[in-house]
Amino acid sequence: MVSFINFEDSNRKCPANTLAYTVQSGDTLYNIASKFNTTVYDIVSLNPGIDTESLRVGQVVCIPKQKLEPMCPIGTSPYKIKQGDTLAGIANRFNTTVESILLVNPAVMGNNLRIGQVICIAQEKTVQTVCKMANSYVIRKGETFSSIAITLNVSLKNLLNANPGVSPNNLYEGLAICIPMAPIIFSITINTMEKTLILYRNGIFFKAYPIAVGKPTTPTPKGTFTIVNKQLNPGGPFGSRWMGLSRPHYGIHGTNNPASIGTAASNGCIRMYASDVEDLFNYVSIGTVVRIF
């Protein structure tokens, strides 16, 4: 929804070490965060009182400059090089190996680290590389590579090949892995009147989830779309999962306002309870068809 700005909106001064960004037509916090390699949570924290559902064209939003470093892939976290650091020392500190660090930081020169340089450190116990087309999956309690392969209709061999740094005998809850591209067996239908999302497997009803849809002034778009991107932990109003639609700026995501589920409350996106969106995220792959009516 486009709205007018006031004088304070357009003349806001951002604090030091931040970047002032002027909101443009069609902007959402999610696409602004993506544009500047930051998170919705960090933007909201830096802009107290910001209306996450209704940005105003011309409004000035402050962006944290420190997030302009490249984002780290799923399963890793950023680390800023300090004086005296070596790759061997960093590897020892984080219970990983130099080889693992170099694998997720191909541009890093081990003998030429720079103070302030940001590198990515793989989560303890594993090396997690960037997934092809961001096709990721989060391990749940009791799951194995074999059970995941059966659920998603992929071969066990291809699943293992897509995760060369992951030991199939050392999976743990919350570990992010990559899913190889395969024939898509799931599809989604969203009924905006009933505020329900239906997941189908091979055309047969599989699961149903309650949702929130767009407000009358910012309705959820209707039509047939596909999932074009997935993101873990986008933060802020988007909760723990994001699945972007081929209609720009719209997606299926979690929420920091669970009371809104079952109502028309969003800016056009589909909101889900945290446990539901985390469940759906694992079934949905890039290219999944989403029909909204």
| Per-residue pLDDT tens digits for 173-188 | 888 898 888 888 999 9
Which residues constitute the domain of residue 111? 76-122
Residues 115 and 172 in one domain: no
Alpha-helical (H) ranges within the chain are 7-10, 29-35, 40-46, 87-93, 98-104, 145-152, 156-161, 274-283
Q: CA-CA distance, 71 to 139, in Å (whole number)? A: 22
Residues 244 and 159 in one domain: no
Residues 152 and 193 in one domain: no
Backbone angles phi, psi at 277, to 5 degrees: -70, -30
Catalytically active residues, by annotation: 253, 269
> What is the value of pTM for the model shown?
0.58
| Per-residue pLDDT tens digits for 32-55 | 876 776 777 778 888 888 877 778
240 located within any domain? yes
Residues 263 and 170 in one domain: no
Q: CA-CA distance, 66 to 198, in Å (whole number)? A: 40
> 285: which 2 tokens?
């792959």
7 located within any domain? no
Number of H helices, E strands in the chain: 8, 16
CA dihedral 58, 59, 62, 67 (to 10 degrees): -60
| Per-residue pLDDT tens digits for 146-162 | 999 999 989 999 999 98
The residue type at 204: I
83 located within any domain? yes
Residues 229 and 277 in one domain: yes
